[in-house]
Amino acid sequence: LLLLLGATLLRPGGGSYQHPFYNGFYYNHVMNDKGDGHENAVYFSVAKLMVETPKDPVYSSSGANVTLPCRYHYEPEQESKSKIRIKWSKLRDDYTKEQDVLVAIGKTQVAFGDFKGRASLRQSGRREASLVVSDLRLQDGGKYRCEVIDGLEDESNVVELRLQGVVFPYQPRRGQYQLNFAEAERACREQGAVVASFSQLLQAWREGLDWCSAGWLADGTVHYPIRQPRAHCGGLHLAPGIRSYGQRHRHLHRFDVFCFSSALRGEIFYLERPAGMTLAEGRQACRDAGAEVARVGQLYSAWKFLGLDRCDAGWLADGSVRYPIAKPRANCGPGEPGVRSFGFPTAGRFGVYCYKER
């Protein structure tokens, strides 16, 4: 119908219908929906609704507040004839599904799901539709769609929120390639992290991550990052990069997982005894200090963001023993920074890394 109306409206002047005047809108007389033979005027705007968001990602960190900018205007300029409806949604990595975040009409705003009480619309300027999200969570990172609806006009654009964080590979106590996708999600969550996205893994690779075991990513694909090509990691003939197994069956296939953790809200400290401690004794020592045994993601975050550097092996909450090295030196492992791992000892006495919220 709209195409037919457009063809009618744009006919040369010899046609049967002439515009009474032109002020930025087309007019056409159509029968109303009452069926009484009377005609109503329907207006079609020739102005284009434009929605603008930043091309570059917006960076923030866990626990912080962030504003995702979005503005709209018309070309050529005009005033809206109806109430503007603004909708924000969060996209999956593959764009196949959207999560409702917020809908606003005039001064009325409604946030949904995990964003209730944390998301609001900033309308401090004319034709602004920016989204404010407070108390950021690890799962908030990703792409967001800002959609503006004005009558029949509906335009949108996308802005990406990136949380500053650290990606780390994770294997459970059972060993390599033991996790289906649901188990991988749970493993990261138990370590104070979430499953990493491809863009987060790519950034980690650019920063030096080299790991020759394939792991799940948030979109259900499986990859591993290689900085130094070698025979048993895809072959010497391949250039450095992210090796891909593509989409895998989330229930049947099993791999490791790449987890993502952001900046800490608290502090990590190390406790030791001359004779060392069992894991149970380490847990009690942390409790006595008003803390809890640190998770793997928390240790990686302290290493990455706080420069935690200690050449002392200590228990973590999952039963593994690790230590963080920011400044490589003799007798403290390889020659590059990182979190060293002793695996999951069934016996032995070590110190313990504790975590305490601020």
pLDDT tens column, 214-256: 999 999 999 999 999 999 898 888 999 999 999 999 999 999 9
Task: Say what the pLDDT of residue 46 is.
Answer: 65
Each residue of 13-38: pLDDT tens digit?
433 333 333 333 333 333 344 545 55
Task: Say what the pLDDT of residue 21 is.
Answer: 35
Q: How far apart are the first and last CA of the chain?
A: 62
Task: Say what the pLDDT of residue 95 is.
Answer: 63
Compute the mean pLDDT over every residue in the chain, rounded to the nearest whole number.
87
What stretch of H or E contains 271?
A: strand 266-271
Task: Say what the pLDDT of residue 45 is.
Answer: 54
* Residue 52 reports pLDDT greater than 80: yes
Each residue of 112-122: pLDDT tens digit?
999 999 999 99
Q: What average pLDDT score do residues 282-309 get? A: 97
For 19-33, 79-93, 215-229, 257-271, which range has the lowest pLDDT when averaged over its residues? 19-33
- Alpha-carbon separation of residue 323 from 80, 120, 313 (angstroms): 60, 41, 5
Of 116, 65, 106, 112, give the one whose Cα is nearest residue 86: 106
Q: What are the chain's domains?
A: 48-163 (2.60.40.10), 165-261 (3.10.100.10), 263-357 (3.10.100.10)
In angstroms, the CA 267 to CA 282 distance is 17
What stretch of H or E contains 146?
A: strand 142-150
* pTM for the model: 0.78
